A and B are shown apart, each in its own frame.
Chain A
Amino acid sequence: MDLLPFLLTQCLNALSQAALLFFLGVGLTLIFGIMRIVNFAHGTFYMLGAFLGYSAVRLTGSFWAGLVIGPLIGGAIGAAFEMGLLRRLYRRDESAFLMVTFGLTLVLGEIIRLLWGVNALQVELPNMFAGIVFLFDEPFPTYRLFLAGAGVVVAIAIWQFLERTRLGLLIRATSQNAEMVHALGVDVNLVRTAIFGIGCGLAALGGVLAAPLVTASLGMAGNAIIDAFVIVIIGGMGSFLGSLLAAVLVAFVQVFGNYYFPDFALAAMYMLMLLVLVIRPGGLLGKEA
């Protein structure tokens, strides 16, 4: 096997992995940027997305339906949770948020177990993604190519949303000074609900997309929340670009680590995190140390 085609396909592989990590991390970092809270339930929304994707495919026969329904339901649950519970806690200290979002993790996890059972569920790929394509004469799973593309599209969409829309402007302003935004006549509670819903919806989207690769299972949430934290810490809390950069870096470390040092691959991600923390304690693009 030639080196160059091998490297190129591995890079694409890493980008597809980066897409999943990005969907997971970007919501967590945006929520932190606005609300200064750590959403412990973020991994559970990812898991919820995977199960919703499974059911959507079962019920409608369409993978695309899952891509729409999963984020919508995940986002709606996130927004409702923010309005119903988190909103009452903004004047409390941060440990209250940790407890409440951890509680949501347990409740949502139990609900998922009751609804879908304890077995891992295989999500079928649509025919158009089930095969392989040849890139530079190397076989490559079509679905991973689609994932990499989806990551690019969603990253550009979020960036344009933050830069071009009124809500995006308010989200950026609120992350810099929420009280000032409030005093300028904006109901910041709605901004908070929106960002929490969007963040949870993106995590669910990541779950829908990950399910065909890893099956939908009750173990997903725990792994996902750790990956998400690593992305947010490496990228810098609250930084959109940071989460994108961190997702790509971590994915490359995972993919190439798995190939060259398979026994060591899991540790590599944490070593990357430690390295970043030593050099830039606030994360690559983070503000405060």
Chain B
Amino acid sequence: MLRIESLNTHYGASHILQGVNLAVPRGRICAVLGRNGVGKTTTVRSIMGLVPPTSGRVLLDGQDIAGWPPHLVARAGVAYVPEGRLIFPDLSVLENIRVGERKPAKSWPVERLLELFPSLRERAGNRGSQLSGGEQQMLAIARALVSDPKVVLLDEPSQGLAPLVVRELAAVIRRLCQEGVTILLIEQNMKLAEAVADELHIMVKGRMVYAATPEVFRAEEEAIRNRYLTV
């Protein structure tokens, strides 16, 4: 579905992504873990075209979309749920969703999204800025799904959320997977990643250095954690 091949990205003189390779199979959840500043968010932003990669390929169903402008990447079927959620603060909940609804949604019409996220239905007329962090996260996911995406990029969805809300988020992510949505999940929260992902990848200094299923990962967790993740 989504395949990244030796992707390089620079911010000015600094070489952030140093040949990233990653494959997200259809209908699966791939989680990318890593310390702060190793290039996880830059990976997502490079896929999205928000930071044009300097070389490498981003293949979506075989088509190379690397370096396309963001709106064409989105129209090709990549939906983006950014770090910090970036809800439009002065638009209502429904308006936030409608910005993402470029044409009437087939798989994820607004009505179905409101069923999936009942709290958004209750707050449909509220402004984005009036929502709690958890509600904003659900709204950011709804805004992404309404475009009927092939793959969803979820960047640090658990950031700043209470443990109870993170559990709710995990349930939502699993539900999306059951519905056939393909997800690339960037996370610092190892528990969440372990709980929902089909594959775990670890990123260090702009490269993917480790990949395993959650079962294998759990067996080696102590060593891996000390080696790659603890500060």
Chain A positions within 8 Å of B, measured between CB atoms, are 166, 169-170, 172-173, 176-177, 179-188
Number of interface residues of B (CB under 8 A): 22
Tell me the smallest distance from the CB of B131 to a CB of chain A, in Å.
14
Please tell me if B102 contacts chain A, counting CB pairs below 8 Å. Answer: yes
Partner of A183, one of B50, B88, B91: B50
Tell me the smallest distance from the CB of B101 to a CB of chain A, in Å.
9
Chain A residue at smallest Cβ distance from B86 = A180
If over half of A's interface residues share one DSSP class (helix, strand or loop), that class is named, otherwise mixed; here it is helix
Given A169-B98, A184-B99, CB of A176 within 8 Å of CB of B82: no
Known: A169-B91, A181-B99, A183-B48. 19 other contacts (CB 8 A): A169-B95, A169-B99, A170-B99, A173-B88, A176-B88, A176-B89, A176-B91, A182-B69, A182-B70, A183-B50, A183-B71, A184-B71, A184-B99, A184-B100, A184-B102, A184-B143, A185-B75, A185-B100, A187-B71
A179 to B99, CA, bound (A): 13
Which residues of B, 62-94, contact A by the 8 Å Cβ criterion? 69-71, 73-75, 80, 82, 86, 88-91
User: B147 — which chain A residues lie within 8 A by C-beta?
Assistant: 184-185
Given A176-B88, A177-B86, A177-B88, CB of A183 within 8 Å of CB of B95: no
Which residues of B, 111-159, contact A by the 8 Å Cβ criterion? 143, 147
Are B99 and A183 in contact (CB-based, < 8 A)?
no
9 cross-chain pairs, A with B, having the tightest CB-CB distances, nearest first: A185-B74, A182-B70, A183-B80, A184-B100, A176-B88, A183-B70, A173-B99, A180-B86, A187-B71
Are A186 and B86 in contact (CB-based, < 8 A)?
no
User: A176 — which chain B residues lie within 8 A by C-beta?
Assistant: 88-91
User: A187 — which chain B residues lie within 8 A by C-beta?
Assistant: 69, 71
Chain B positions within 8 Å of A, measured between CB atoms, are 48, 50, 69-71, 73-75, 80, 82, 86, 88-91, 95, 98-100, 102, 143, 147
Tell me the smallest distance from the CB of B16 to a CB of chain A, in Å.
18
5 A-B contacts, Cβ less than 8 Å apart?
A: A166-B98, A176-B88, A180-B86, A183-B71, A184-B74
User: A181 — which chain B residues lie within 8 A by C-beta?
Assistant: 99
A162 to B166, CA, bound (A): 36
User: A188 — which chain B residues lie within 8 A by C-beta?
Assistant: 71
Chain B residue at smallest Cβ distance from A185 = B74
Partner of B71, one of A166, A172, A185: A185
User: A172 — which chain B residues lie within 8 A by C-beta?
Assistant: 88, 90-91, 95
Count of A-B contacts judged by CB separation below 8 Å: 58
A169 to B143, CA, bound (A): 14
A177 to B50, CA, bound (A): 13
User: B74 — which chain A residues lie within 8 A by C-beta?
Assistant: 183-185
Chain A residue at smallest Cβ distance from B143 = A184
Chain A residue at smallest Cβ distance from B146 = A184
Tell me the smallest distance from the CB of B46 to a CB of chain A, in Å.
12
User: B91 — which chain A residues lie within 8 A by C-beta?
Assistant: 169, 172-173, 176
Chain B residue at smallest Cβ distance from A180 = B86
Are B71 and A186 in contact (CB-based, < 8 A)?
yes
Partner of B102, one of A179, A183, A186: A186
User: B50 — which chain A residues lie within 8 A by C-beta?
Assistant: 179, 182-183
User: B82 — which chain A residues lie within 8 A by C-beta?
Assistant: 180, 183
Tell me the smallest distance from the CB of B218 to a CB of chain A, in Å.
34
A180 to B71, CA, bound (A): 10
User: A177 — which chain B residues lie within 8 A by C-beta?
Assistant: 86, 88
A186 to B102, CA, bound (A): 8
Are B80 and A184 in contact (CB-based, < 8 A)?
yes
User: B75 — which chain A residues lie within 8 A by C-beta?
Assistant: 185
Are A186 and B80 in contact (CB-based, < 8 A)?
no
A186 to B90, CA, bound (A): 18
Q: Which of B71, B99, B102, B147 is the most central at the interface, judged by chain A CB atoms within 10 Å of its CB?
A: B99
Q: Which of A169, A180, A181, A184 is the most central at the interface, judged by chain B CB atoms within 10 Å of its CB?
A: A184
A166 to B98, CA, bound (A): 9
A166 to B102, CA, bound (A): 9
A188 to B98, CA, bound (A): 16
Tell me the smallest distance from the CB of B81 to a CB of chain A, in Å.
10
Chain A residue at smallest Cβ distance from B77 = A185
User: B71 — which chain A residues lie within 8 A by C-beta?
Assistant: 182-188
Tell me the smallest distance from the CB of A169 to a CB of chain B, in Å.
6
Tell me the smallest distance from the CB of A193 to a CB of chain B, in Å.
14
Chain B residue at smallest Cβ distance from A186 = B71
User: B86 — which chain A residues lie within 8 A by C-beta?
Assistant: 177, 180
Tell me the smallest distance from the CB of B34 to a CB of chain A, in Å.
22
